[in-house]
Structure 1
């Protein structure tokens, strides 16, 4: 009769190191893209009211004001500017609108402003593209 050896326990690896590194890099790249977009908008006369505002409706990358307009700004960084522009989907557009309405509703000073959904598209080696009043998305 042969004796069976106990099966070795599977090696438990922490979350794959490469995945964690990639996630951290994406987080840093996202922050960097938002700062670039904020500087670009400030150069165009916008006042930045907030970064990464989280609410029930979703997350607003940048909240900016210029005159009578309150802009909910989505920042997209892709390999090309066209890819960045096309990456805003209808469901995300609706979440941005809902989040913007919630922010405006909860801050009396912002209530009289016109709400607008904007986008700043970024791509390596290109100047940012600011799209004002984007439509529902593709």
Structure 2
């Protein structure tokens, strides 16, 4: 019997993919990324057509990110864009942790833009289907305090 030391003549360790997930190629990841960017662009056009001004796209704070920050009248909407093959599947990805990160990022954005501090704040979701159809959910969730989790 021959003993082979660990790491010599052996394949890389196998880490199973969690159930429901598959390993994606770089081309597949790129297509998903491009689909997401197109969805954000479509959602921004949708909001502009509805009378909103887009104040910021793809805001990245220390605690999270916001896809779109839009303003109409005295309301600032923090919009999460979810693009999926079946649009409603995007809601599954928006658990309370994600809501808390969006809320914390909104707090950061507001701290950097105090002129909007007195505006009504709203957390919306834009579900984008392939082909550009949009389901827009106003007041989709409430602000989540970061100290509560």
Class of the TM-score when normalised by the shorter of the 2 chains: 0.7 to 0.9
- Once the two structures are superposed, the pairs formed by residues 13-92 of structure 1 within 5 Å of their partners are 19-92=25-98
1:107 is aligned to 2:113: yes
Structure 2: 5+ residue runs without aligned partners?
Answer: 1-7, 12-23, 143-149
1:117 is aligned to 2:103: no
Structure 1: 5+ residue runs without aligned partners?
Answer: 1-6, 11-17
2:133 corresponds in structure 1 to: 127
Deviation at residue 40 of structure 1 after TM alignment? 0.6
Q: Aligned pair in 2 of structure 1 residues 118, 32: CA closer, same or farther (>3 Å)?
A: same
Bigger Rg, which one: 1
| Count of residues paired in the alignment | 122
Deviation at residue 126 of structure 1 after TM alignment? 6.4
Separation of aligned partners in 2, 1:82 and 1:133: 16
Taking structure 2 as the reference length, the TM-score comes to 0.74
| More moved, 121-130 vs 40-49 | 121-130
CA deviation profile, 1:8-63 (whole Å, cap 9, x unmatched): 9x9xxxxxxx7222222222111100000000111111110111110012111111
Structure 1 segments (4+ residues) deviating >3 Å: none
Provide the alpha-carbon RMSD of the alignment: 1.9
Taking structure 1 as the reference length, the TM-score comes to 0.79
